[in-house]
Amino acid sequence: MKILKTISELRSELNRYNQKNLRIGFVPTMGALHEGHLSLVKQSVSENFVTVVSVFVNPTQFNDKKDLERYPRDLEKDCKLLKPVGCNLVFAPSVDEMYPEPDTRRFDFGELETVMEGAHRPGHFNGVGQIVSKLFDIVQPNRAYFGLKDFQQLAIIRKLVKDYHYPVEIVPCAIVRESDGLAMSSRNMLLTEEHRNAAPFIYHTLNKLQELTINSTTAAKEFIRKQFAENKFLDLEYFEIVDDENLQPVDFIEKNRTYSACIAVFAGKIRLIDNVQLNS
Strands 259-267 and 234-243, sheet pairing: antiparallel
Stretch that binds ligand PAF, among 25-33, 170-178, 205-213, 234-242 (CB under 6 A): 25-33
The secondary structure of the chain as a DSSP string is: -EEE-SHHHHHHHHHHHHHTT--EEEEEE-S---HHHHHHHHHHHHHSSEEEEEE---GGG-S-HHHHHHS---HHHHHHHHGGGT--EEE---HHHH-SS--------GGGGSSHHHHHSTTHHHHHHHHHHHHHHHH--SEEEEEGGGHHHHHHHHHHHHHTT---EEEEEPPPB-TTSPBP-GGGGGS-HHHHHHTTHHHHHHHHHHHHT--BHHHHHHHHHHHHHT-TTEEEEEEEEEETTT--B-SB--TTS-EEEEEEEEETTEEEEEEEEE--
Nearer to ligand PAF, 28 or 141 (CB): 28
Nearer to ligand PAF, 185 or 205 (CB): 185
Positions in 45-104 near ligand PAF (CB under 6 A): 58, 61
150 binds ligand PAF (CB under 6 A): yes
- CA atoms of 24 and 208, how far apart (whole Å): 40
Catalytic-residue membership of 34: no
31 binds ligand PAF (CB under 6 A): no
Stretch that binds ligand PAF, among 64-72, 128-136, 173-181, 267-275 (CB under 6 A): 128-136
Q: How many other CB atoms are there within 10 angstroms of residue 90's CB atom?
A: 23
262 binds ligand PAF (CB under 6 A): no
The single residue of 34, 37, 124, 204 carrying the catalytic annotation is 37
Nearer to ligand PAF, 150 or 235 (CB): 150
Instruction: State phi, psi for 113 to the nearest 5 degrees.
Output: -100, 5
Nearer to ligand PAF, 132 or 224 (CB): 132
130 binds ligand PAF (CB under 6 A): no
Stretch that binds ligand PAF, among 26-34, 87-95, 102-110, 207-215 (CB under 6 A): 26-34
Q: How far is the CB of 110 from ligand PAF (least distance, A)?
A: 19
132 binds ligand PAF (CB under 6 A): yes
Q: How far is the CB of 76 from ligand PAF (least distance, A)?
A: 19
Nearer to ligand PAF, 103 or 231 (CB): 103
Q: How far is the CB of 128 from ligand PAF (least distance, A)?
A: 5
Stretch that binds ligand PAF, among 11-19, 22-30, 109-117, 172-180 (CB under 6 A): 22-30
State the catalytic residues: 37
Residues within the interface to ligand PAF (CB under 6 A): 28-30, 58, 61, 128, 131-132, 150, 153
